[in-house]
Structure 1
């Protein structure tokens, strides 16, 4: 690939990404006005451990944005966890026909 995103490191800063996407002349304005809007629509978040945003995910975001790739939904939390359910005694568990008898 010879596009500007392929020249970036695995994790790039916001200004590096902006320059790769819209060019140096418009990078500061794009970063200031569009980045928070894009994040709300699924643009990859800043990874503080690596000091930047993951460039492969940014490429995938734009591929989906332009209809070049299928969108992938990552699994997230599906609700509150009931940790007490894991520690119930056997006598309090609901009886089913598949229950193992002691």
Structure 2
């Protein structure tokens, strides 16, 4: 019964939010930007990343942004901690772009 409820929940939420792949690979760099117009963390994947979104490329590296104004501080800390742990351990990191569809 729990599997049926979980399946229905996943099915109904899939219409509200989807995720597109940005990249899958080892973390090459984590940079924090704090300008007047932008406060974000930019995470670069190594050039050997296996899944790449052509819209998220810079100098041969795949990157993704974590925009600080769009998340609470706990969420940002968790995301940056995961990326930092992947960087130091040499593990692969999957980056997704969340797209929210308005009803």
Which bracket does the TM-score occupy, shorter chain normalised? under 0.3
Alignment TM-score, normalising by the size of structure 2: 0.28
Rg larger in structure: 1
Alignment TM-score, normalising by the size of structure 1: 0.28
Which protein has greater RCO, CA pairs closer than 8 Å, 6+ apart? 2
Which protein has the bigger strand share? Answer: 2
